Structure 1
């Protein structure tokens, strides 16, 4: 599996490149790009290889459920930049991040097909999951899409459900596992280690006084991950990889403040403030604890670091995608002020 060096990310209302017209288009939200999604994406990739057509993913930003219930936004497993990076690692030529608002949600199923699939993307073939629904009030489904394809001249392939252990692989199932600290079980369903991206900010700088200076990040969805100590692998913007140990939580020994993801990079010395990092989570070592004094905390941190080093030294890639994402270029950009 190779990463596309010329991968195109079409954001917002940006023009769709003419060179990608006539492609095979996989459509879905694809939050998590988990093994169930990968069955759809791999089907699209096989079709594109067979006919020599461009390979394109069509997804929606923000997540449609967030548009309909803004007071309860979906905790995103893969924000747009991470999702794009995964598509690139899967060999896609482009992702189109279609702006989704109530006006777009109000389009009829036929208008979505004519305006987006036919006019904007000029799709040769469309690949969707068995439960794909679209158009106002979800009036369109896979059967409707297939019939429309016959009228408009594009092919349609519908991929059946992918299950694991008798249960469907779903984004909600993975969210639950992460919130329970089951990072390894979540990785099994994802097919790669769950990865977060963000810019390093300033903390209280307590870690450096303990011999463990940390790179601090605020998670986009703080409720998504259980508090605790994690073995992690970090990719810097320059492409270098560093193993480390991270603490996620409220620091009960000190301030019991807002949740923060604090990562200590092994065998590293330097200033990371403001730098974007990609952090893959390998395993949860333990839950967050409050210690009676600093020496007890430092002694536990030493044990955590030793355990993380041992675990990471013996870790092998879960899949070709897991290996590819470790070496793929970050597409993260800090949010606008």
Structure 2
């Protein structure tokens, strides 16, 4: 799959496609249904399936402090879009130029001149263009005049509950991992490359793998039992803290992971951190000694949880 950064990087092979557009934060089951419509139309027409996304997401551009937390980082979002059958992702930089573009100019620049779209799939509540003046009706009118089909999608529900990024954020904020996972269609995970941090963990005997969240607020916070993928054939048990690290005066959100039974240099490794069990909320401790004591209690909690899960799995298998 191709990641196309900006209209100027479009090639002739990307044109004549079936496309959809949105934030696709989380790439949840509702998104997957939309993407399946895109994939089906692309197969029927014998052309590429393409998703248009924005970076940053529009609400982050207008006010990062009030923007909703990210469910999915850009790298993960692109991977999940690929897994849903998308051939290419056009990532448009959301900036002053794009936000001030009138609806008709947006359609002309992106859908007509840029992509020469043949079929466009979009939610019937979709709004676009300067001041969100464009809507589904306008798209249909343009499609009829310019020779491409506009197909709408409808709300996707699971067990009577509407599946949406907003609802998944609420569930993650409440550490309801199982319910969020059902709406996502997979266990919640964050991936990233291990970077150098403060290396404080080493000084207290608890080395951590640090993954920067690039200033984006995470959708969940606290201490969790997690599994780490990417360091071998099997998941590795670990304990993770995601948040601001108030005791050590952290200034940006960060993900720190301590692997329970691993020693080695992880710097530069790309790992997936899968959140399995909530342990506690992030909190400020009076001093480093109190923090260290709690970290070891968290590690013991995580070990106990993994041991109980393994015992339950063995009982079930028997």
TM-score normalised by length of structure 1: 0.79
Q: Which of 237, 242, 248 pairs up with 2:236?
A: 242
Cα drift, residue 40 of structure 1: 0.9
Cα drift, residue 181 of structure 1: 1.6
> How many residue pairs end up in the alignment?
307
- Per-residue displacement from partner, 1:70-96 (whole Å, max 9, x unpaired)? 443442212322211111111211100
Q: Which of 145, 154, 159 pairs up with 1:160?
A: 154
Do residues 15 (structure 1) and 29 (structure 2) align? no
Q: Is the 8 A contact 1:231 1:281 kept in 2?
A: yes
Q: Is the 8 A contact 1:179 1:223 kept in 2?
A: no
Distance in 2 separating the partners of 1:110 and 1:301: 56
Distance in 1 separating the partners of 2:255 and 2:311: 22
Q: Which moved more, 1:189-198 or 1:57-66?
A: 189-198
Instruction: Name 2:24's counterpart in structure 1.
Output: 30
Instruction: Name 1:112's counterpart in structure 2.
Output: 106
Q: Is the 8 A contact 1:235 1:279 kept in 2?
A: no
- Per-residue displacement from partner, 1:212-232 (whole Å, max 9, x unpaired)? 432122334345312122323
Cα drift, residue 44 of structure 1: 0.7
Q: Which of 172, 178, 186 pairs up with 1:178?
A: 172
Instruction: Name 1:298's counterpart in structure 2.
Output: 296
Give 1:281-296 correspondences, 5 Å limit. 281-288=275-282
Gaps of 5+ in 1: 1-6, 316-337
Cα drift, residue 60 of structure 1: 1.4
- Per-residue displacement from partner, 1:166-220 (whole Å, max 9, x unpaired)? 4422212211221222222211111122222333233454545666432122334
Distance in 2 separating the partners of 1:71 and 1:222: 9
Q: Which has the higher contact order (CA 8 A, sep 6+)?
A: 1
- Per-residue displacement from partner, 1:224-263 (whole Å, max 9, x unpaired)? 3121223233335x988534332335668x7475554221
Instruction: Name 1:218's counterpart in structure 2.
Output: 212
Instruction: Name 2:316's counterpart in structure 1.
Output: none
Q: Cα distance 1:309–1:148, how it changes in 2: closer, same or farther (>3 A)?
A: farther
Distance in 2 separating the partners of 1:211 and 1:295: 11
Give 1:11-90 correspondences, 5 Å limit. 11-90=5-84
Distance in 1 separating the partners of 2:181 and 2:42: 28
Q: Cα distance 1:160–1:210, how it changes in 2: closer, same or farther (>3 A)?
A: same
Q: Secondary structure at the match of 2:24?
A: coil
Distance in 2 separating the partners of 1:124 and 1:240: 44
Q: Cα distance 1:248–1:61, how it changes in 2: closer, same or farther (>3 A)?
A: closer
Cα drift, residue 43 of structure 1: 1.0
Distance in 2 separating the partners of 1:212 and 1:305: 14
Q: Which of 225, 234, 247 pairs up with 1:230?
A: 225
TM-score normalised by length of structure 2: 0.84
Q: Which moved more, 1:164-173 or 1:125-134?
A: 164-173
Q: Cα distance 1:229–1:89, how it changes in 2: closer, same or farther (>3 A)?
A: same
Gaps of 5+ in 2: 314-318
Instruction: Name 1:327's counterpart in structure 2.
Output: none
Q: Which moved more, 1:274-283 or 1:88-97?
A: 274-283
